[in-house]
Structure 1
Amino acid sequence: MTLHLLLLLLHSILILVLASSSAIDPAQELDWEAAQRRDRVERLPGQPKTPPLRQFSGYIPVSRDGRRALFYWLTESTARSPHSKPLVLWLNGGPGCSSLAYGAVEEIGPFRIKANATGLYSNPYAWNKVANLLFLESPAGVGYSYSNTTTDTDAFGDTRTAEDAYSFLLKWFQRFPQYKSREFYILGESYAGHYVPQLAKLVHDGNKAASKTIINLKGFMVGNAVTDWYYDNLGIVDYYWTHALISDETYTTMKRHCKFTSVELSSECQRIMDYASNQEIGNVDLHSIYTPVCLEATWSSSTGRKSSRTAPHWNPLWMGQTGFDPCTPSYAEKYFNRPDVQRALHANGTPNNVPHPWTPCNYGILENWHDKAFSVLPIYKELIKAGLRIWVYSGDEDAMVPVTGTRYWIRSLKLPIVNRWYPWYYMDQVAGWSQTYKGLTFATVRGAGHEVPVLQPDRSLSLLEHYLRGKPLPKR
């Protein structure tokens, strides 16, 4: 037997094991209603009265011994017929960043956190207007998700993250069987550019291995997505230069020394990248290069540590409902560490004691990420052939995972063009540009950074609506 066939056999066995491990005794199937009642969130501290909202949150164990569990938050659609709306799973990346901190309360969820973290206010462009939103803190160790096994910290990586997320889904649909027949989509951004297609492949393979569809997956969509080490990093270098973040000399040196042929940078490439960051780019948020950084806390140049003095931050982009605030993650950290918030969300309580404070990002996970795919493009090729609805979008002001790199790797797929490059519109304004390929749609969002819904909430909601309908973005 060849190595390739052996790997395929082991992969098929893994899928069957994951599916079978989620099976429960028929006598327990009636317990789903009780489980939903336990997970029902009646009201969050400081939650506005409108819109009326059904929400659920809690834990799903994903390891056989139950010592590793993932935390979810479901916000049902506020549409007139929520039961007819699809289910969207949202994943943030990092690796190590919380889908609550970013997706839920900064981007697409029904609420925003007030600056003093004492309450919430409504997001008028929440994506649950058109879909039921399921936020997942993944992998274990992120946010409220946890592992009580210390050896798990040595195994962070793409493979186990996808396997745990798939195990979560199988068990979550047992707890919420009313969603089994709904159209299901997986969405995310940044390093979820790995999580999303890798999970979609496991779901697709699990459906193929079963006698009937287990999860009604229809497609996936990713934004500013880490996808291919070579093309993404090549795009970063070109974006830096074309947006005047670095000098001609530094650009030339980067092109000479940075080949991006492995996930580890050469020492010379790392040196010039550090020089660009420290000497040329300055205090710019590379996630959104034209917006202000959070100045809520200051740093001591002598110690390199945060000082205790808090300074007001300059925020010229506060524009009514858009409400951009670069300090939002710090508000989330205060809010989600409140005991009353944790009680309302059924988080961090016996027996689910989280062995770490809630933070927007767990940087220990990033530092111990041992399993990182060089590229997920082979998965794209497979799932495009399978007929899933696949869209990719980019905020054009993001220098972390810039539009240049995304265009490079899409071009490498050599897909036939169906609709050539055109401007798409929202409210009679150019909202971005789009091109449709056979099996994939690409769109930019004008004036958006790494987290597209933060600066362009109305355009991003329009993008979602067209994606869920399978309709091209409007030309006028």
Structure 2
Amino acid sequence: MGNSSFFFFVFCFIFLLVLGTCDCLSDQEKDRIDQLPGQPSNVDFEQYSGYVTVNEEAGRALFYWLTESPANRDPKSRPLLLWLNGGPGCSSVAYGAAEEIGPLHINSDGRTLFSNPYSWNKLANLLFLESPAGVGYSYSNTTSDLYTFGDAKTAEDSYAFLVNWFERFPQYKHRDFYISGESYAGHYVPQLSQLIYERNKGVKNPVINFKGFMVGNAVTDDYNDYVGTFEYWWTHGLISDSTYKSLQKTCEGSSSEHPPVECIRALNTAEMEQGRIDPYSIYTRPCSYTTSLKRRGRYPWMRGAYDPCTENYSNQYFNLPEVQKAFHANITKLSYPWQTCSDIVGGYWTDSPLSMLPIYKELIAAGLRVWVFSGDTDSVVPLTATRYSIDALNLSTIANWYPWYDNGKVGGWSQIYDGLTFVTVTGAGHEVPLHRPRQAFILFRSFLENKAMERSSISI
């Protein structure tokens, strides 16, 4: 063998050795976001996004976006919060991240971002999940999946996501972990919480160190949701006496997934009587009334999400090719555009239990932290519905109804039960952090610290 051949052989051997041992970039590092298009210059936190496979056989993969706490907030010491939006079929990236609790929100041009001064990532590392497959960037290679999702399958896939995600991000293993969400996530959050709790049983040091959950304006119990919603409409002057009585007679006690024909007729009458309002925030002007109602439907039942103009900005931003590239998203080149809410997934929901109250009872008895909050200008899952559901738990009262304050003004009211804390936020609609970001930030801080809402003015 000549010298040139020898050196070539040595070079190849070293190259293959290095290639075989470096494993190039880790999956976590591959998910790192260098910079999002249009992001402000003052971003001081790490971001990751990408896909986690939850079912190899079907080819189902869920998309996530992680926004860690800023460097000066010591992200390594902060807990991890999973945020879920409902629908079913609505994107947590569009709502929770881009217009509610996330650090980066979308400007009206649909191309640039601005910093949210009340982002919850100042208190915790935030993980947003688009679930189930078919929502947002999440996908399945088995088309029938999109028509067969329901509560149970969604919970199982979300749990599989978490198990695999913690393997990709081992630094979060055993870290204090919480779940929060709103609207139909009033089903997602308790069911996923129950799954984690039950599978952690007997494990001394669980990887998913689940501590508790918090839900807002949450679909909870069909019977009480009906009773409380109709009462809210009537007491706020949104419907007539006769329609109120008709709703009580034809709807209460029926399934929200399959209401009888007479109930549907009464609901349609109620919709006409309410007129051109934004049902998710009854005292604010709707942005795109006609388009919104045509696309999502109004009340059959508790479907959809708040429809401010910010939804339009999300539809524009998350469909930009450069944005999808930065997010490591749409890698399979989906045949449909990214949507804030999936019409297919939401339109073919297969199973939805009548009540989450049995799960509440189980998790409260287990000593997990449970908080429920409610914006008081939402008519879709209103304050009265939530109060009736909580009352049905028959919990002992620790601290009776009292006002909590922010800067000398009432921020809402609270009642503390044995095992559950209930908080209202005055002037907030369906998406509390969108309408009252500062008060929502105070609420989340109190939840993490497990401290009652302040009875006097506080500063942040």
Q: CA deviation at 1:402?
A: 0.5
- CA shift for structure 1 position 33: 6.8
TM-score, length-scaled by structure 2: 0.89
2: CA distance between counterparts of 1:325 and 1:209? 44
Name the structure 2 match of 1:340: 322
Q: Deviations over 1:255-294 (max 9, x none)?
A: 222223323211111101101102x101111111111111
Which residue of the other structure, out of 129, 134, 140, is the alignment partner of 2:127? Answer: 134
* Shift in CA distance, 32/173, structure 1 to aligned 2, threshold 3 Å: farther
Tell me, yes or no, if the aligned pair for 1:146 and 1:355 is still in contact at 8 Å: no
For residue 338 of structure 2, give the secondary structure of its aligned residue in structure 1: coil
2:429 to 428, 444, 449: 449
1:145, 1:354 within 8 Å by CA — same for their partners in 2?
A: no
* 1:112 CA drift (Å): 1.2
**Contact 1:77-1:131 within 8 A present in 2 as well:** yes
Q: CA deviation at 1:56?
A: 0.1
CA gap 1:348/1:436 in 2 versus in 1, 3 angstroms: same
Structure 1 or 2, whichever has the larger Rg, is 2
Write out per-residue CA displacement over residues 305-362 of structure 1, whole angstroms, 9 at most, x where no aligned residue.
9xxxxxxxxxxxxxxxxxx99211011001000000000000012xx33342100000
2:47 is equivalent to residue 55 of structure 1: yes
Please give the alpha-carbon distance, in whole angstroms, between the structure 1 residues aligned to 2:73 and 2:119: 15
Which residue in 1 is equivalent to 2:89?
96
Is the contact made by 2:254 and 2:260 (CA closer than 8 Å) also made in structure 1?
A: no
For residues 74-119 of structure 1, the C-alpha deviation after alignment (integer angstroms, 9 at most, x for no partner) is 0001242111111000000000000011000110111111111121
- TM-score (norm. length: structure 1): 0.86
* Letter aligned with residue 319 of structure 2: N
For residue 286 of structure 1, the aligned residue among 261, 269, 279 is 279
1:73 corresponds to 2:65: yes
The more displaced of 202-211 and 43-52 is 202-211
Q: What is the distance in 1 between the residues matched to 2:255 and 2:279?
A: 23
Does the aligned pair in 1 maintain the 2:63–2:137 contact within 8 Å?
Answer: yes
User: Which region of structure 1 is more displaced relative to structure 2, 32-41 or 193-202?
Assistant: 32-41
Q: What is the aligned-residue identity percentage? A: 55
Cα distance in 1, alignment partners of residues 207 and 445 from structure 2: 25
Q: Is the 8 A contact 2:106 2:313 kept in 1?
A: yes
Listed as ranges, the matches of 1:428-467 within 5 Å are: 428-467=408-447
Residue type of the alignment partner of 1:75: T
- Checking the alignment, whether the CA contact within 8 Å between 1:32 and 1:176 is kept in structure 2 is no
The 5-angstrom pairing of residues 102-117 of structure 1 reads: 102-117=95-110
1:326 equivalenced with 2:293 (yes/no):
no
Residue from 192, 207, 212 that aligns with 1:214: 207
Q: How far is 1:37 from its partner?
A: 1.0
Q: Distance in 1 between matches of 2:424 and 2:24?
A: 41
Which segments of 5 or more consecutive residues in structure 1 lack a partner in the other structure? 1-27, 306-323
CA distance in 2, matches of 1:224, 1:152: 28
Distance in 1 (alpha carbons) for counterparts of 2:99 and 2:285: 16
> Counterpart amino acid of 1:360?
T
Query: How many Å separate the matches in 1 of 2:170 and 2:28?
Result: 10
Any conservation in 1 of the 2:226–2:252 contact (CA below 8 Å)?
Answer: no
Determine the structure 2 residue equivalent to 1:265: 259
CA contact (8 A) 1:32 1:175 kept: no
Residue deviations 1:42-92 (CA, integer Å, cap 9, x gap): 100000011312000000000032610000000001242111111000000
Identify which range, 248-257 or 357-366, moves more after superposition. Answer: 248-257
Partners of 1:123 and 1:208 lie apart in 2 by 38
In structure 1, what is the Cα distance between the partners aligned to 2:207 and 2:105? 34
Q: Is the 8 A contact 2:177 2:209 kept in 1?
A: yes
**2:115 paired residue number:** 122
Which of 190, 202, 206 aligns to 1:197? It is 190
Cα-to-partner distance string for 1:124-178 (whole Å, 9 max, x where unaligned): 1111011100000000000000011012123210000000000000000000010
- Secondary structure at the aligned position of 2:452 is classed as coil
Q: Deviations over 1:407-439 (max 9, x none)?
A: 001001110111111001111110000000010
Q: In the aligned structure 2, how far is the partner of 1:114 from the partner of 1:262? A: 40
Distance 1:235 1:89 in 2: 28
Counterpart in the other structure of 2:377: 397
8 A contact 1:206–1:214 mirrored in 2: no
Alpha-carbon deviation of 1:367?
1.2
Tell me the matched-pair count. 424
Aligned equivalent of 2:29: 37
Alpha-carbon distance between aligned partners in 1 of 2:119 and 2:204, rounded to the nearest angstrom: 37
2:205 equivalent to 1:223: no
Partner of 2:270: 276
Q: Does the Cα contact within 8 Å between 1:32 and 1:174 map onto a contact in 2?
A: no
1:226·1:401 contact (CA, 8 Å) conserved in 2? Answer: yes
Corresponding position: 1:46 with 2:23? no
CA–CA separation in structure 2 for the residues paired with 1:472 and 1:116: 40
Contact 1:93 1:192 in 2 (8 A): yes
Which stretches in structure 2 are left out of the alignment for 5+ residues? Answer: 1-19, 296-305
For 1:332 and 1:77, locate their aligned partners in 2 and report how far apart those are by CA, in whole Å.
Answer: 23
